[in-house]
Amino acid sequence: MDGLLKKIESNNVKIGVIGMGYVGLPLAIEIAKSDIEVAAIDIDEVKVNAINLGRSYVPDVSTSLLNEQVQKKRLKAFSSFEIIKALDAIIICVPTPLNKTKDPDLTMVVSAVEKIIENRGKQQLIVLESTTYPGTTEEMILPRLAQSYGKVGRDFYLAFSPERIDPGNKVYNTYNTPKVIGGITSNCVEVATKLYSNFVKFIVPVSSPRAAEMVKLLENTFRSVNIGLVNEIAMMCSRLGVDVWEVIDAASSKPFGFMPFKPGPGLGGHCIPVDPLYLSWKLKTLNYRARFIELASEINGDMPRYVVNKINEALNGCNKSVRDSKVFVVGVSYKKDINDLRESPAIDVIHLLKTRGAEVFYYDPYVDMIQLEDLSLKGIPLEQGLTEADCTIIITDHSSIDYQKVVDKAKLVVDTRNATKGINNSKIFKL
Ligand SMILES: NC(=O)c1ccc[n+]([C@@H]2O[C@H](COP(=O)([O-])OP(=O)(O)OC[C@H]3O[C@@H](n4cnc5c(N)ncnc54)[C@H](O)[C@@H]3O)[C@@H](O)[C@H]2O)c1
């Protein structure tokens, strides 16, 4: 271990990051910025080529910064895994989605681990950052690695450190977001802590990978459950004839014991709708039903239907039906100021509207084209959509959109995000 620690202390380590997506690329850049050589590994040749040409495809990473690291030869991308032999540490950032039956799909993690084993070197540190259920590192990864490397904490080091990146966040990034680390042995925590301290400001060590895995799931379950609660409060407020946004704003004036969450058209992104289900799945294997998670998932999952019913109400008021109406969706990414469409509620809303016979078109400054298995749509200019549509629905409240203009030009507006806050107009329908 001493040899590896010395290398880390003198910044003379070579790190590999497997999976160059929203998580892996910003991490690789942060490592390179700290003057450490990093191998960016991905099975997607397009991403590998883009990195080596110095071109960023992740909004949080600027092309100039990426290009600088490539030019300085600190960052190089590979689609082959052979480079692993020459590395001291390998960090896994591959996707952990759900399969068709909404159970954890760890095939990409397993495949990355197998590639590490095939190309293993000596005294390497392996860290899993992909979100997963408690027990994955110890139960699934450790036995595989130990079989080929030898004894953990002596022949190799293994830790779990959850990624906490918040795409689009201008304040918190990979460097200044505290990093939780749980190692299999105390040697593993020590090596991983030393390594990450080179490019992350604060480290929070915990007693095991299982605890670190649970930390991430607590964080995301906390959000999912609280969003579920506030979505239900929005439905209650609607029945009571109370403006939910006014209630949340006023409740937020309490300086203690209250934390505001916002209702919306449903959950999106790779994390909040998916991660809690990793936890409930694991608990099912232990004969325990994660009731809060199930309820929040049900309420949040119903929100697209709820907002489509709002469109229905809004159109009814003008003697129109959803069928044969033109509905214009403003903002389709799952949250503001990013281009990520994964699990976006906009997609569910569009599908529901189409099923009910509406003609649907959209505008999003970050998404030119929706190209999914079951949906292909090209964005249109904002002005055109506002003038042509019978009803405009705001799904994502991108900062660059002028909502006064939206209200002025549109015939009817259903605002799911309170983007039209402060604009008084009877044609606006809120959640
Ligand atoms: N995106 C977020 O905001 C976020 C935040 C926190 C945690 N996470 C977690 O981080 C992990 C990665 O998420 P992401 O958003 O970066 O995913 P992503 O889809 O943006 O990127 C993953 C990359 O991994 C590559 N890949 C897949 N299998 C591979 C393999 N076997 N070998 C090499 N490369 C492979 C893909 O080609 C892709 O480029 C997930 O577990 C996710 O839950 C994501």
Q: What is the mean pLDDT of residues 165-181?
A: 92
What does the DSSP assignment read for 182-246? EESSHHHHHHHHHHHHTT-S-EEEES-HHHHHHHHHHHHHHHHHHHHHHHHHHHHHHHHT--HHH
Residues 6 or more apart whose CB falls under 8 angstroms from that of 40 comprise 16, 17, 20, 24, 25, 28, 48, 51, 75, 76, 77, 78
346 CA to centre of own chain: 16
E-assigned strand segments in 108-202: 124-128, 156-160, 179-183
Q: Which atom of ligand 1 is nearest to the CA of 164?
A: 6
Q: What is the mean pLDDT of residues 275-288?
A: 97
CB 181 within 8 A of CB 212: yes
Catalytic: which of 93, 188, 271, 391? 271
Quick one: what percent of the chain has pLDDT higher than 70?
100
With cut-offs at 50, 70 and 90, classify the pLDDT of residue 59: confident
312: which DSSP letter?
H
Q: Is the pLDDT of residue 1 over 80?
A: no
Q: Is 318 a catalytic residue?
A: no
Q: Which atom of ligand 1 is nearest to the CA of 109?
A: 31
Tell me the C-alpha distance between 349 and 309, whole Å: 10
What values do phi and psi take at 20, rounded to 5?
A: -100, 60
Q: Is the CB of residue 95 below 6 angstroms from any atom belonging to ligand 1? A: yes
- Domains, the chain, with CATH or none: 2-207 (3.40.50.720), 221-430 (3.40.50.720)
Tell me the C-alpha distance between 416 and 245, whole Å: 11
- Which tokens sit at 154? 């002596």
What values do phi and psi take at 226, rounded to 5?
A: -70, -35
With cut-offs at 50, 70 and 90, classify the pLDDT of residue 167: confident
Q: Is the CB of residue 163 below 6 angstroms from any atom belonging to ligand 1? A: yes
Q: Per residue in 325-369, pLDDT tens?
A: 999 999 999 999 989 999 999 999 999 999 999 999 999 999 999
CA distances (Å), origin 276, targets 87, 122, 218, 232, 280 = 33, 36, 8, 18, 6
Indicate the pTM of the whole model: 0.92
Q: Is the CB of residue 271 below 6 angstroms from any atom belonging to ligand 1? A: yes
Q: Is the CB of residue 321 below 6 angstroms from any atom belonging to ligand 1? A: no
Q: What is the mean pLDDT of residues 301-328?
A: 96
Q: What is the mean pLDDT of residues 47-70?
A: 96
Instruction: Quote the pLDDT of residue 320.
Output: 96
- Which tokens sit at 133? 């259920």
CA of 332 from ligand 1 middle (Å) equals 21
- Amino acid identity for residue 181 in this structure: I
